[in-house]
């Protein structure tokens, strides 16, 4: 019986296992996405109950074999408060992306570090200012680490270098290509090359965040749409629950402010 102790982790989701227990989907630094049964976690007296919260750094211990392991211990890693408002929804959105795109027990330590950095931004006073750019940086790194992001400094089909003054678009199953005249969504070659350089940096998350945060709102919106199309496709094609919730809340805000 293999035992893992004090593994850095975050809870992505949990659901009922029995009358008193939960299955916890956790993202761990050294072991990837894990399914863990937390026995008795629903009981009021359980030590797990106040700890197994999303968007909080944890140290988890587990044992056993098979697809679902047994959670033995959970400790709060400290240092963060829970994000609120739109930042909380953004965190849930990132969690859902990880559940959709990551295979179980496939470790991605650098992606874990990027996720931890994203959570830190969302829990900080800068969440309103930097939250959107932080999400774009995380989406890019998630696509890259799962093998779904093409090189951003060359055209995928021809391997021709991206030209600074030309327009390019990310296309599902086609990679990066020159934008057609009727393409409403594209980015200039300078932007794609800046992203390619930032993603190669040792501190890829923070460097990419800084690059995107400096763009005008229109460029950020066009990047968001292209990344969402790729994520939607590689996540199985179904609308994310958190994405639908965000859209519903936006509609409610529009109705509440209408004359």
Residue 122 burial by CB count (10 A; 0-12/13-18/19+): exposed, middle or buried? buried
- pLDDT tens per residue, range 108-163: 999 999 999 999 999 999 999 999 999 999 999 999 999 999 999 999 999 999 99
Question: In this prediction, what percent of the chain has a pLDDT beyond 70?
Answer: 91
The predicted structure's pLDDT at residue 244:
62
> Does residue 6 have a pLDDT over 80?
yes
The predicted structure's pLDDT at residue 243:
64
Residues 6+ apart with CB under 8 A from 48: 22, 38, 40, 41, 71, 74
Tokens of 160: 């021709």
How far apart are alpha carbons 58 and 13 in whole angstroms?
14
DSSP-H helix ranges across 20-77: none
Beta strands in the chain (DSSP E): 3-16, 22-28, 32-38, 58-63, 68-76, 167-171, 175-178, 187-188
Asked if 244 and 251 touch (Cβ cutoff 8 Å), the reply is: no
Q: Please, which pLDDT band fits residue 258 given cuts at 50, 70 and 90?
A: very low
């Amino acid at each position: 019986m293999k035992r893992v102790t004090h593994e850095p982790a975050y809870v992505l989701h949990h659901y009922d296992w029995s009358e008193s227990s939960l299955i916890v989907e956790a993202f761990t630094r050294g072991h990837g996405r894990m399914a863990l049964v937390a026995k008795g976690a629903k009981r009021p007296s359980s030590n797990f109950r106040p700890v197994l919260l999303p968007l909080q750094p944890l140290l988890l211990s587990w044992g056993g074999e098979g697809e679902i392991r047994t959670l033995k211990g959970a400790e709060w890693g400290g240092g963060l408060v829970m994000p609120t408002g739109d930042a909380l929804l953004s965190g849930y959105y990132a969690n859902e992306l990880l559940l959709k795109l990551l295979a179980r027990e496939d470790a991605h330590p650098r992606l874990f570090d990027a996720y931890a950095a994203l959570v830190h931004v969302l829990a900080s006073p800068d969440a309103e200012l930097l939250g959107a750019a932080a999400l774009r940086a995380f989406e890019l790194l998630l696509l890259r680490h799962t093998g779904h992001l093409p090189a951003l400094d060359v055209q995928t089909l021809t391997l021709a270098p991206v030209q600074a003054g030309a327009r390019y678009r990310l296309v599902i199953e086609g990679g990066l290509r020159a934008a057609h005249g009727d393409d409403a969504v594209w980015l200039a070659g300078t932007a794609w090359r800046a992203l390619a350089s930032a993603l190669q940096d040792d501190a890829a998350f923070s460097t990419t965040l800084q690059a995107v945060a400096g763009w005008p709102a229109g460029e950020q919106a066009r990047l968001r749409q292209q990344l969402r199309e790729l994520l939607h496709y590689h996540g199985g094609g179904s609308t994310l629950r958190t994405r639908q919730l965000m859209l519903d809340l936006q509609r409610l805000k529009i109705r509440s402010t209408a004359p």
